[in-house]
Chain A
Amino acid sequence: MRSHRAILLLILVMGVSFPLSTSAEQRHVTWTPVNTYENGTPIGADKNLTYQLYWSTDPGLSTGSLRTLVSSIPETSYTFDPTEAGMPRGQTIFFTAQSVLNTGEKSSLSTATAWNVPVLVPSSPSNIMTSNQAPWQVSWDAVTTYTDGTLIGTGKAILYTVYWTPDIWLEGGSLHPIGSPTSATSLSFDSELAGMTGYQTVYFTVKTVLGTGEDSSFSGAFAWDVPLDGAIASETPISPENMVVTDSSRTDNLSWEPVTRYKNGKPIESGKKVNYDIYWTTDPELSADSLTPLSSSTEATSITFDPSASGMKRNQRVYFTGKSKLSTGEESSLSPAISWRVSNSGPSAPSNGRVSRKNKK
C-alpha cells in the first residue's frame, strides 16, 4: 500500500453564475483543496499539486466512461459551458476529480457528484403588437436569451412562428399559423386570407424556435379586433361579444353583452328585437354539426345551465358560442369560441369507515 498517496477530500459543488455582459452559459464546479496524504501527513510545500476533473454519464464512473473536463489545474474550481463540454441536456451526469502530485502520485477518484444538466428553453417573444393600419403587420421584440437568462449562442438560428386564434386561452387546437417561421421580428398578413372575419376579436401569439429544435412556450396573447372590410359590411347584427362563464356550486352562468349595432357600425333601430341562440360544443372550430343548443331565441343576455343536464361531461373542455338574430330575420355569424372546462372536482372522500370481525362461514 502506498501510504503517501495524495488523498482528495473532494466536495464538488455545482453553481451557476452569469458573466457581466455577453457570453455563453457558464457553470462552476468547486471542490475542497487537498492538503494531506491518505495517512494524514501534510503534503510538503515543495510538492506541486494539481487536479484532474472528469465527468461521466455512468454513476459508477467506469474508466471508459470518463471524459476529461480539465487537466492539471492548481485551482479548486473550474468554469465550463455544458454545451461546449458535450454534456447531454436533461440528463444526470456525474463529476469526479483526482489530485496529482508533481512527483507522480495520484489519488483515487473522488465520490461521484450528480448534476442534472439543465435543458435550455428559449424565452418567448414579448411586446407583441400590430400595425395601426393596413397593410397589417404583427411585430415583436427579438429573443436573445434562454429562460434562465443565459444568452443564446450566436451560432444558433433563432426563428419565430406566429399564430392567431379566436381563443383567448390559446388552446392548441384553435391556433392558426400565419406564414412560415421567420427570423425577422415582424410579419405581414392578410386578415381575410388568414381566415379572420370582420369585427372578430382574434389573439396573436408568437413562439421562438431555435435551429436546433428547442422551442419556447407561447408568448402572451395580443388581442386585435379584425377591421371590417367595406365589402363585408351589411345590415346584419354583430355576434354576441364578451361571453363569460361564471361557476357556482351546482349551476353555471353564461353571459354576454347585449348586441346593439350592425356589422357596419350603425345602431340597431329601437323597434327591432334582438334574440340570441347560444350553443356549446367540444369542437374548437365550432363546426355546425357539433353545436348543441343551450338556449334558443332568448332575449336575455345570460343563461343559467347545468353542465351535466346539458350533456357535458365532468372535466371536459367545451366551447361556447352564440349568434344574435333580429326580429326581422337577419342573423349574425357565430361569436368567437369561449373555452371552458367543466368542473373538475373528484369524488368526496368515503366516510364512516369501521372495522368489524366476522366468523368465517
Chain B
Amino acid sequence: MNGSSVRLTVFLLAFIVAMIVLPGCDSGGSSEVTPPSGSITSLEWDPPMTFGDGTPINPVRDIDHYEFFLRTDENFTDIDLPVAQVSAVTDVLDPNGNIQSSGPTSQFTLENLLPFVEGGKRYYVAIKAVGIDGLKSGFMAPVVWDVS
C-alpha cells in the first residue's frame, strides 16, 4: 500500500456488507481485481481556526473528529443524527506503512455515504467539528450533493 491513508471511522456497515457481497457473487473461484474507474466526489472544507469565543484553535491538536449529516433539505437541526464521522487528523504514510506526517483532515469522499442516499436525488451535506473535550461546533453551511 502506498499513498495516504485517512483514519476513517464511518458508520457504514451496510456499505461494507455491500462491498463484500456484491462483487463476484460466485463463490469458490479466483477473482480478478478490476482497477477503479470513473470519478469520485469529494466534500472539502476549511477546518475551524478559532473556538466559539474567538481564541485560536489548532485543528490537529484541538479537534477530535468531524461529524457528517445528510438531509434532503437545508434545515439541519440539533436533533439530526450524524451518518458518519472522520478523524480530524489525516496521517500520510510512507511506502512501509509508517506515519510520515500528520495534518488536518479537510476532505471526505461522499461515495462513503451512498448507503444512505437514493440515486437521482439532491441531498445537502453539513458537518460539525467536535473538539477533544467533546464540545461541538455548529453546522457548516450545507453543501449541495446531487447524487447521480
**Which A residues are closer than 8 A to B by beta carbons?**
249-250, 308, 313-315, 343-360
CB of A360 within 8 A of CB of B37, answer: yes
Residues of B within 8 A of A346 (CB): 51-52, 129-131, 133, 135-137
Asked if B118 is at the interface (CB within 8 A of a chain A CB), the reply is no
- B72 → chain A closest CB, angstroms: 16
On whether A350 and B129 interact (CB within 8 A), knowing A345-B51, A355-B145, A357-B40, the answer reads yes
Residues of B within 8 A of A359 (CB): 38-40
Residues of B within 8 A of A352 (CB): 45-46
CB of A347 within 8 A of CB of B62, answer: yes
Residues of B within 8 A of A345 (CB): 51-53, 135
Residue in chain B with minimal CB distance to A352: B46
- A222 → chain B closest CB, angstroms: 34
Asked if B89 is at the interface (CB within 8 A of a chain A CB), the reply is no
A250 CA / B137 CA spacing, docked (Å): 18
Q: Restricting to B50-92, which residues have a CB under 8 Å from any CB of A?
A: 50-55, 57, 62-63, 66
Residues of A within 8 A of B136 (CB): 346-347
CB of B42 within 8 A of CB of A353, answer: no
Q: 15 A-B contacts, Cβ less than 8 Å apart?
A: A250-B55, A314-B135, A315-B135, A343-B51, A347-B130, A348-B49, A350-B48, A350-B66, A350-B129, A353-B141, A354-B44, A355-B41, A355-B44, A355-B110, A359-B38
Residues of A within 8 A of B140 (CB): 349-351, 353
- B95 → chain A closest CB, angstroms: 16
- Which residue of B49, B55, B110 has the most chain A CB atoms within 10 A of its CB atom? B55
CB of A350 within 8 A of CB of B45, answer: yes
A277 CA / B126 CA spacing, docked (Å): 49
**Which B residues are closer than 8 A to A by beta carbons?**
36-55, 57, 62-63, 66, 110, 125-131, 133, 135-145
- A354 → chain B closest CB, angstroms: 5
A351 CA / B141 CA spacing, docked (Å): 7
Please give me the 8 A-B residue pairs with the lowest Cβ-Cβ distance, nearest first: A346-B135, A345-B52, A353-B143, A352-B46, A347-B129, A350-B45, A349-B137, A350-B140
Residues of B within 8 A of A347 (CB): 48, 50-52, 57, 62-63, 129-131, 135-137
Interface SS of chain A: loop
Number of A-B pairs whose CB atoms are under 8 Å? 118
Residues of B within 8 A of A351 (CB): 45-46, 48, 140-141
A315 CA / B51 CA spacing, docked (Å): 12
The 8 Å CB contact of B133, one of A249, A315, A356, A360, is A315
A345 CA / B137 CA spacing, docked (Å): 9
Residues of A within 8 A of B126 (CB): 353
Residues of A within 8 A of B144 (CB): 355
A349 CA / B127 CA spacing, docked (Å): 8
The 8 Å CB contact of B53, one of A343, A355, A356, is A343
A355 CA / B44 CA spacing, docked (Å): 6
A351 CA / B46 CA spacing, docked (Å): 5
- Other A-B contacts than A347-B137, A349-B140, A360-B37, 11 sampled, CB-CB below 8 A, are A250-B54, A250-B55, A314-B133, A314-B135, A346-B133, A347-B136, A353-B44, A357-B41, A357-B42, A358-B39, A358-B40
Residues of A within 8 A of B135 (CB): 314-315, 344-347
CB of A348 within 8 A of CB of B43, answer: no
A315 CA / B135 CA spacing, docked (Å): 9
The 8 Å CB contact of B42, one of A250, A349, A358, is A358
On whether A350 and B39 interact (CB within 8 A), knowing A249-B53, A343-B53, A345-B53, the answer reads no
A250 CA / B54 CA spacing, docked (Å): 7
CB of A348 within 8 A of CB of B133, answer: no
Residues of A within 8 A of B129 (CB): 346-350
Residue in chain A with minimal CB distance to B53: A345
CB of B41 within 8 A of CB of A349, answer: no
Residues of B within 8 A of A360 (CB): 36-40
Residue in chain B with minimal CB distance to A316: B133
A344 CA / B125 CA spacing, docked (Å): 27
- B14 → chain A closest CB, angstroms: 22
Residues of B within 8 A of A348 (CB): 48-52, 57, 129, 137-138
Residues of B within 8 A of A250 (CB): 53-55
A353 CA / B66 CA spacing, docked (Å): 13
A355 CA / B146 CA spacing, docked (Å): 10
On whether A355 and B37 interact (CB within 8 A), knowing A345-B53, A346-B137, A348-B52, the answer reads no
Residues of B within 8 A of A313 (CB): 133
A133 CA / B127 CA spacing, docked (Å): 62
